[in-house]
Structure 1
Amino acid sequence: MSHLAQAALWSLVALPTAAGTLLATTRRAERAAAPVSLTVAAASVVLAVVVAVARPAVAVPFMAGVDFALTVDGLTALLVPMLAVVTLLVLAAAAGEIRRSQARFHGLMLLFAASAALTVTAATLPTLLFAWEIMGAASYALIGFWWRDEDRVSAGLTAFVTTRSADVGLYVAAGAALAGGAGMALADLPHSSPGWRHVIAAGILAAALGKAAQLPLSFWLSRAMAGPSPVSALLHSAAMVAMGGYLLLRVQPLLAATGWAAPVTMWAGGLTALLLGAVAVAQRDIKQLLAASTAAQLGFVVMAAGAGTVAGGAAHLIAHAATKALLFLAAGAWLTALGTTKLADLRGVVGRWRLVGWSATAGALALAGIAPLSLWATKDAVLAQVREQSPWLYGVGLAASALSAAYAGKLLVVIWRRPPAGRRGAVDRDQVEVGQVSGLQQAPLVILAVGAAYAGLLALPPLGAMVARAVGQPGAFHVSPVELAVPAVLALAVLLLVVRRPAPEPRWALRWLGIEAAIGVLIVRPTLRCAAALARFDDQILDRGVESVSAGALRLAARAGRADDRWLDRAVERAAAGTRRLGQLARRPQTGQLHQYYLQAVVALLVAVVVLVVWG
């Protein structure tokens, strides 16, 4: 069984990688793309369940003293099946939505899912870096999937460059881990030398916050909405953004060991949950609203990592995955039918597509934190632990919970309330035909709605205790009935208030706090100006200098050539002529007659005698 479990763990990553590479690089696989990807995704679900039960570990040598290692512990056993199931459901919905370039799409999605699976199972920093890089590259290709649209490609590039900037921290952490002496296994990082331990924590924190779209790098998530809706569904629920929160849960002992990283992590998550909640309330596009809510909800996961409740963070991550995949797929279904994601054009869509509408309603109520649906319990499990660490941050968390109910309520009001009489909106019966949303797009919504409703049981007895034991924190859930009731009542009150009166839309939050514009002014424009100045310096000074040097060299070479022709060649020719004359003179005495040789010997002897007499 051990060998089979190890083979299943390798296959969990290798199977979607091989199938995704084949589909993405083969142009003749259009018809087979969806069946192949769904088959591979279904097989991945089976493999995920096997490894979650068996919990194997595998490793191969990578470099001196470091292995390329994968392992399945309690936290991984919770998240791997979630990732596999959500991937399968998203690909099923995509099969009914994506009609062109299906092979490339499904291939990239499988690679994206494989990189997320490798991230979750990574046991060493080299393995994590390998998965992190592939995940970033795949997200860039998927966000800009419709590459003929320059805006979409630009959006993918923005997301890629922003997250890549934060990813530098992971490389810094890897270098510090080598210097720290404890090794590069994730479990050994807290045991690094004290000085290097702080560098490791800072690097990982920067990389994880960037991937999780936490402040101040949240704006890339807005641009990522240019990708197809199934891409947004997977990116926001179980891959990429979720992996940032997962990484902080994974290295929670390291954060606690530094003394400063845990409080910083808590406040980063809390402020993101609060401010991005306000951003979500201000949005007028359903995908932008959901994107901002993703950053806000991941803020609770980040708070959980800082507060030390890995069990609560994992439960919230799973519940959020089901909820957000459901809502993004519903938005994709409405986009397919209506050609718009503007909230003003989605008035009354529940009455038109009842299955999609009711499923989205369940997801929106869960997102609002309405009891007894999932995010109510998981969110409160996190806040209960935060309250023990900082009452002020607990207040920030309650305010963020209220905003969750506000933006979820805004969405519910739009999809349920009919447009005013006489308005010919996007759901006008004369303009929209029934049946535009395919069955493949609707079927996964029902399963995800069940998950959005019941995943909160992972934070309640008796499943909560099992989750806590699985992640190595027995007895972690101590949420009192009062702690569960206060946020639930608050969420219900805010939701009812939004139903009666439209939620205010803060203009200052409409453009995602203006962070992208500020970065453009403070970083991008100065960088471009510096690059332009360097280009001018290169063109006007360096290039001219090189051209002047080369011209001078050519003139010097020409003069040297003339000197060579005039002086050196003539000197060589004169030396050769003299040598020839000397040779001729030397040949004259050599006649072969013996008496001449005697005469030469006598002359030579006389010359020698004269020399001796003169010098003697």
Structure 2
Amino acid sequence: MSGVLWALIALPLGAGSVLLVAGRRADRAAAVIAVTAMLGTAGAAVAVAFTQPSVRAPFLSGLPAELTVDGLSGLLAVTVAAVTLLVLAFSAAEFGPDQARARFFGLMLLFSGSMLVTVTAATLPVLLMGWEVMGATSWALIGYWWRDTARVRAANTAFLTTRTADLGLYLAAGAALAADPTGTLALDDLAKAADPWRSLICAGLIAAAFGKSAQLPFSFWLSRAMAGPSPVSALLHSATMVVAGAYLLLRTNPLLEASGWGTHVVAWTGALTAIALGLVALAQNDLKQLLAASSCAQIGFMVLAAGAGGITGGTLQLIAHAAAKSLLFLIAGAWLTALGTKALPGLRGAARRYRVAGVLFTVGACTLAGLPPLSLWATKDVVLAAALETSPWLYAAGLAAAVVSALYSARAVWFVWQPTRRDDHGLDSEGRGTRQVPGRVLPPLAVLALACALLSPLAFDPARAAVSRVLGGRSEPAPHLWEWMLSGALAVVAASAAWAWASGKAPRPTRAPGLGGSASPGFLGGWLRLEQAAHLLLVRPVFALARTAARFDDRVLDAAVRGAGRGAMDLARWSDQRLESGVGGSVSAVASAGRALGRLARRPQTGLLHQYLAQAVAAFTVLAVVFVLVK
């Protein structure tokens, strides 16, 4: 079955690359190609979830590329493929022929394929590759309408924020290599590293996971991600990038436990994010911003589960949240297209006008609220049972976050079901009109709503025990009856209170706010001012340091370089004036002497050398005779 595992990642990545290379020429066939490729991917995901194969290929020296499927990655692979298939089917009906469909569907396939690589990665290098491609494609998808500078700025903010946190993965990889230079960087071996490397690995993974899953203090980037098309938001929030960090923490729970401190940091960060961002969601007057903040809050339950050791509850929460959040974002996008607004006051009566979409939205919102007997009511109690085993305070925090979930979900439902006046969007007193949400977008929405309604039994025994065995058979606490009853009762009471409160405090209808963040005023409505805090504490100091470095470069380094250049020119001129003249004179003198010697050397070369020799012999003979006679 190794070929099926390769096909699981090759189908979306290959088809997405082909669509991007083909460009506008493939616009007409892009939707069919994308849906067909993802249909094959979904089939491959189901196959590998049952067979759980592993594959290995040469990559770097001593670091092979490994993909493996176990219980956790198998369930996540099926979730990613199924949600992506339904989102693409919706997009095929939603995106018109004037849009760059090949670019959109190609990026969506690459986005989903990189998540599948992340889910099945068995080693840190492969995880890093999927992680990086997922971040890059999210930037391109958020800024899909690139001619709008506000959307591009929003994409840049989201990308740079997650990239900053992603540095933690590189820290973790470096520490893992330092701990075991001959190892393969397998995720399952990270908990075996010795301190201090194990703590560094744990810190790096936690930072990267918090950034990707928009947990405190990185939550604000998810508000900016709302600048992308609604199908992008539906996929990004439900089964891909934003849940990748929670998946990583669930996967590396043994490392968190071995560190001695990681579980506490992760659990409490998840709980605080669930409460704080739930309150942020409650303060929003923009439906997409409400859903974005609720994603941070709901993923906080998964992070809480990873810290508390509730792997089963965290996994079930992830799957149920994927169905509910993709459903809600797709319907929000359909209403935005039909009515031209995403402001909650401006959506009054939308559910009355679009009855089927309104009913499906209500199912998704009630699931998000955790109202019995829908899925997130059951899965949250499995998470809270693990929290209670860890600390009663942690359980209380999780229960408070669940109550806040019911509040913001009920508020959204109240707005879309309220009757409207005749002049609001051309609706009559009952919210009925002539325009309708296209019927071809309803089948994928109905499937997602059905999943929201049918996932609850997985949280109850014996189904929960079966899921636990699939995930490795860890012993985890099961919720008691009083826990089910308490959370269900609190959810119902909170939803009722939110409905009554909204009836008396609802603002007047307004048009949708602009892009680039929440339009709601105040501390909570402004996402806890986290983006402003990031600019104050991080961005401004970094740019101030950059400006100081630039001035140092201009005034010190550049001046030093220019001074060195001037000094070199002065030295060259001095050398030309003083040294070159002396050297030139010496060379000239040597040349003159050489010429004189040459002239002297030519004198004996007349051809009469034998006569000179004879004359010399004669002279010496005469001198010898005279010497003898005188003697």
The TM-score bracket by the shorter chain reads over 0.9
Q: Which of 16, 21, 28 is equivalent to 1:31? A: 28
Give the Å deviation of 1:576: 2.4
Matched, 1:403 2:430: no
2:64 counterpart SS class: strand
Q: Which of 4, 7, 14 is equivalent to 2:3? A: 7
Matched, 1:117 2:107: no
Residue 483 of structure 2 corresponds to which residue in structure 1?
Answer: 483
Deviates more, 1:500-509 or 1:440-449: 500-509
Contact preservation (8 Å) 1:301, 1:313? yes
Q: Cα gap change, 1:586/1:513 in structure 2, threshold over 3 Å: closer, same or farther?
A: same
Q: Cα gap change, 1:538/1:428 in structure 2, threshold over 3 Å: closer, same or farther?
A: farther
Matched, 1:18 2:19: no
Contact preservation (8 Å) 1:143, 1:227? yes
Alpha-carbon distance in 2 for matches of 1:253, 1:194: 15
Alpha-carbon distance in 2 for matches of 1:586, 1:507: 106
Alpha-carbon distance in 1 for matches of 2:589, 2:379: 101
Deviates more, 1:243-252 or 1:25-34: 25-34
Q: Deviations over 1:214-239 (max 9, x none)?
A: 00111111111111111110100000
Matches within 5 A, 1:265-304: 265-304=266-305
Alpha-carbon distance in 2 for matches of 1:436, 1:95: 18
Q: Cα gap change, 1:429/1:559 in structure 2, threshold over 3 Å: closer, same or farther?
A: farther
Alpha-carbon distance in 1 for matches of 2:498, 2:451: 25
Alpha-carbon distance in 2 for matches of 1:585, 1:601: 20
Q: Deviations over 1:12-66 (max 9, x none)?
A: 1111111111111222111111111111011111111111111100011323432
Matches within 5 A, 1:90-105: 90-99=87-96, 100-105=99-104
1:17 counterpart SS class: helix
Give the Å deviation of 1:545: 2.7
Matches within 5 A, 1:499-510: 499-502=499-502, 507-510=522-525
Residue 557 of structure 2 corresponds to which residue in structure 1?
Answer: 542
Deviates more, 1:570-579 or 1:312-321: 570-579
- If the length of structure 1 is used for normalisation, what is the TM-score? 0.93
Deviates more, 1:425-434 or 1:379-388: 425-434
Matches within 5 A, 1:340-351: 340-351=341-352
Deviates more, 1:445-454 or 1:425-434: 425-434
Deviates more, 1:508-517 or 1:176-185: 176-185
Give the Å deviation of 1:567: 4.5
Contact preservation (8 Å) 2:382, 2:459? yes
Residue 523 of structure 1 corresponds to which residue in structure 2?
Answer: 538
Alpha-carbon distance in 2 for matches of 1:440, 1:53: 32
Matches within 5 A, 1:127-142: 127-142=126-141
Q: Deviations over 1:285-304 (max 9, x none)?
A: 11110000000000000011
1:29 counterpart SS class: helix
Residue 81 of structure 2 corresponds to which residue in structure 1?
Answer: 84
Q: Deviations over 1:130-151 (max 9, x none)?
A: 1111111111111111111111
Give the Å deviation of 1:566: 4.4
Residue 551 of structure 1 corresponds to which residue in structure 2?
Answer: 566
Q: Cα gap change, 1:581/1:425 in structure 2, threshold over 3 Å: closer, same or farther?
A: farther
Give the Å deviation of 1:562: 4.9
Alpha-carbon distance in 2 for matches of 1:410, 1:188: 46
Matched, 1:248 2:245: no
Residue 612 of structure 1 corresponds to which residue in structure 2?
Answer: none
Q: State the identity as a percent.
A: 51
Alpha-carbon distance in 2 for matches of 1:428, 1:599: 140
Contact preservation (8 Å) 2:306, 2:314? yes
Alpha-carbon distance in 2 for matches of 1:310, 1:340: 39
Matched, 1:71 2:44: no
Contact preservation (8 Å) 1:468, 1:477? no
Q: Which of 18, 28, 51 is equivalent to 1:54? A: 51
Give the Å deviation of 1:210: 1.0
1:194 counterpart SS class: coil
- The residue identity in structure 2 corresponding to 1:444 is P
Alpha-carbon distance in 2 for matches of 1:382, 1:427: 45
Contact preservation (8 Å) 1:140, 1:159? yes
- The residue identity in structure 1 corresponding to 2:147 is R
- The residue identity in structure 2 corresponding to 1:450 is L
1:61 counterpart SS class: strand
- The residue identity in structure 1 corresponding to 2:401 is A
Deviates more, 1:426-435 or 1:27-36: 426-435
- The residue identity in structure 1 corresponding to 2:112 is A
Contact preservation (8 Å) 2:353, 2:432? no
Deviates more, 1:177-186 or 1:29-38: 177-186
Contact preservation (8 Å) 1:338, 1:432? no
Give the Å deviation of 1:442: 2.4
Residue 224 of structure 2 corresponds to which residue in structure 1?
Answer: 223
Matched, 1:572 2:587: yes
Deviates more, 1:477-486 or 1:262-271: 477-486
Q: Deviations over 1:367-406 (max 9, x none)?
A: 0100000100000110011011110111111110110000
Residue 441 of structure 2 corresponds to which residue in structure 1?
Answer: 441
1:193 counterpart SS class: coil
Deviates more, 1:509-518 or 1:565-574: 565-574
Contact preservation (8 Å) 1:48, 1:80? yes
Matches within 5 A, 1:140-159: 140-159=139-158
- The residue identity in structure 1 corresponding to 2:437 is V
Give the Å deviation of 1:596: 4.9
Q: Cα gap change, 1:433/1:591 in structure 2, threshold over 3 Å: closer, same or farther?
A: farther
- The residue identity in structure 2 corresponding to 1:385 is A
Contact preservation (8 Å) 2:84, 2:112? yes
Q: Cα gap change, 1:266/1:599 in structure 2, threshold over 3 Å: closer, same or farther?
A: farther
Residue 212 of structure 1 corresponds to which residue in structure 2?
Answer: 213
- If the length of structure 2 is used for normalisation, what is the TM-score? 0.91
Alpha-carbon distance in 2 for matches of 1:506, 1:541: 46
Q: Deviations over 1:158-202 (max 9, x none)?
A: 111111111111111112212223651111111122332221111
Q: Cα gap change, 1:245/1:169 in structure 2, threshold over 3 Å: closer, same or farther?
A: same
Alpha-carbon distance in 1 for matches of 2:173, 2:323: 33
- The residue identity in structure 1 corresponding to 2:9 is V
* Matched pairs, number: 600
Deviates more, 1:349-358 or 1:176-185: 176-185
Matched, 1:196 2:197: yes
Q: Which of 584, 596, 608 is equivalent to 1:581? A: 596
Contact preservation (8 Å) 1:465, 1:474? no
Deviates more, 1:110-119 or 1:552-561: 552-561
**Alignment RMSD, CA only?**
2.4
Matched, 1:590 2:605: yes
Residue 609 of structure 1 corresponds to which residue in structure 2?
Answer: none
Give the Å deviation of 1:276: 0.4
Alpha-carbon distance in 2 for matches of 1:556, 1:250: 67
Q: Deviations over 1:406-459 (max 9, x none)?
A: 00011000110123x46x334646999744633343221101001111122221
Alpha-carbon distance in 2 for matches of 1:378, 1:351: 30
Deviates more, 1:105-114 or 1:439-448: 439-448
Deviates more, 1:480-489 or 1:577-586: 577-586
Contact preservation (8 Å) 2:352, 2:432? no
2:441 counterpart SS class: helix
- The residue identity in structure 2 corresponding to 1:300 is F
Contact preservation (8 Å) 2:11, 2:38? no
Contact preservation (8 Å) 1:269, 1:301? yes
Q: Cα gap change, 1:513/1:602 in structure 2, threshold over 3 Å: closer, same or farther?
A: farther
2:233 counterpart SS class: helix
Matched, 1:168 2:167: yes
Matches within 5 A, 1:354-373: 354-373=355-374
Gaps of 5+ in 2: 506-519, 622-631
- The residue identity in structure 2 corresponding to 1:82 is T
Contact preservation (8 Å) 1:282, 1:509? yes
Contact preservation (8 Å) 1:277, 1:400? yes
- The residue identity in structure 2 corresponding to 1:582 is L
Give the Å deviation of 1:153: 1.1
- The residue identity in structure 2 corresponding to 1:449 is A
Q: Cα gap change, 1:131/1:427 in structure 2, threshold over 3 Å: closer, same or farther?
A: farther
Give the Å deviation of 1:473: 2.6
Q: Cα gap change, 1:597/1:336 in structure 2, threshold over 3 Å: closer, same or farther?
A: farther
Residue 614 of structure 1 corresponds to which residue in structure 2?
Answer: none
Matches within 5 A, 1:418-457: 418-419=419-420, 421=421, 424-426=423-425, 428=427, 434-435=434-435, 437-457=437-457
Gaps of 5+ in 1: 607-616
